[in-house]
Amino acid sequence: VRMSGLEADRKEVVALSARELVCRRGRRDDRFELRVDALDLFASEVLVILGPNGAGKSTLLRALAGLDRSLDRHAVRPGEGPVTLVFQRPAAFSGSVESNLRAALLGKRVTEQDRRRRIASALARFDIGHLARQDARTLSGGELRRLALARAFVLEPEVLLLDEPFDDLDAEGQRLLSLDLQQAIEDTGVAVAMVTHDLRRALLLADRIAVLEPGRLVQHGPCDDVLMRPDSPSIARTVGMINLAEGRVRRREEDMTWVEIEEGFEVPCSAALSLGARAWIGIRPEHLKLDVGRGDGRPIGKAVVESLVSDGLATVVTLRLRDRRFTTHLLSGRGLARRLRPGDPVSLAVRPDQVHARPL
């Protein structure tokens, strides 16, 4: 696992730390093991945990919450405040929404005045005050997710662990809930670790990213570090750097290195690679440009438009370069997104500092 220098120099308050965490489930052939050498959660920051199905994302959350014991019982060290986990499928207790929040505080040493304050604050924070007297079992899916978050925040946690908090919500529901959650994190200073499969939604909240591959933490650090400098092609795919290719370093010019990925098709990068070395390159779709003579980058060759798919905001353009497929994004409804058709020839361009390259 690589921890960047920027992360190592952080001065923020560590709300929870994990060291030499090892969790095992199942027996013999069905055994699953998760290993995390080192991971910290910082106050007021959101760590987004990404990885394929079966990588151990939910297992990691449960371990951080103390629900899945590590082989070393001292591997997870929380701070002084509560650690609260909100499950992927939240459930409501019988009774009103308000009584659900009151039940979360049972056994806690708080005065009645403080109890009322916490409940009122949590209801307002997630905009469900108008539902306070409604039977919680009649709530819609979106309302139930808001109740689950309110029930977590009423405990005033130091660490909040979220398992797919936007699952099954429509686009507007996701947008509104993410805004309320973002404000709640800012107001309270809670440290958050969140598992989600929606990379775009995650990046609206994330300060740092942790990437799991089956059974192990493979990279973590500040968002820009992981998004722009993934350690391997598999990590690159997980964080959305889907334009990947292997090649060989053919030439160097001052501070640029050119990697040939097809005969006559060279991609410039700013990485210091040895002449003749084998390397892999990665380009995020938003950084691969269609060259229309505006100086958007260095020309790298020609391709053919294979398909265009729009969600109303962005148009995903699939490009064929001989036997390879690349992807770029355009704003829908304007410019090239309106004019391009499958089969059209296009010229490609990149900025060398936006091409990630590492030796094989």
pLDDT tens-place values along the chain, 360 residues long: 444 444 444 457 899 999 999 998 877 777 889 999 999 999 999 999 999 999 999 999 999 999 987 788 889 999 888 999 999 888 898 999 999 999 999 989 899 999 999 999 999 999 999 999 999 999 999 999 999 999 999 999 999 999 999 888 888 998 899 999 999 999 999 999 999 888 887 888 999 999 999 999 999 999 999 999 999 999 999 999 999 999 999 999 888 999 999 888 899 999 999 999 999 999 999 999 998 766 678 999 899 999 999 988 889 999 998 889 999 999 888 888 888 999 999 999 999 999 999 999
**The pLDDT of residue 264:** 80
**The pLDDT of residue 255:** 86
Compute how many other C-beta atoms are within 10 angstroms of the C-beta atom of residue 132: 15
**The pLDDT of residue 31:** 82
d(CA 307, CA 305): 6
DSSP 336-352: HHHH--TT-EEEEEE-G
**The pLDDT of residue 3:** 46
Quick one: CA dihedral 126, 129, 130, 136, positive or negative?
A: positive
CB 284 within 8 A of CB 200: no
**The pLDDT of residue 335:** 82
d(CA 307, CA 141): 35
Question: Of 34, 42, 86, 40, nearest to 217 (Cα)?
Answer: 34
Q: Which residues of 297-327 are buried (b: 16+ CB within 10 A; e: fewer)?
A: bbebbebebbebeeeeebbbbbbebeeeebb
Question: Strand pairing partners for 18?
Answer: 39, 76
